[in-house]
Amino acid sequence: MLVVDMVLQGFISGEAYIVGEQPEDLAVLDEDVRGNAKCAEDELLTTLTQVVEAALPELFGADGENPVWCDNPGPRPGQQVADASPLEPLFTHRPANAARCAGSSSTAERAGLAL
């Protein structure tokens, strides 16, 4: 369901399906709704990344370490031991209204849709 939710958010935001960057190509025209959907999509990608990295430590390395297959295996220089706090999203671009989608519990709420 995580991936389905992420694809839906990409569709709503227009990031995944816009053709020719023309406004009429967007499925949803409201910028606030699209911004909230992009925020939700970014958060879902971060969650998916964390799940995959945790499930495959041999591929990605243990927390705070590079995997044995890379050029610099072992503890990362200057890396502090990670705490239990959530990781930041991979993408730094956030819509101006990104704070609005924080804490929403459903896809529709995060996207600003009333279903």
Residue pLDDT, tens place only, 43-86: 999 999 999 988 998 888 888 888 888 888 888 776 655 554 55
Q: Which residue has the higher pLDDT, 16 or 62?
A: 62
Q: Are strands 65-66 and 74-75 parallel, antiparallel or unpaired?
A: antiparallel
State residue 107's pLDDT score: 47
Q: Which residue has the higher pLDDT, 15 or 33?
A: 33
State residue 5's pLDDT score: 93
Cα–Cα distance between 43 and 49 in angstroms, integer? 10
State residue 9's pLDDT score: 93
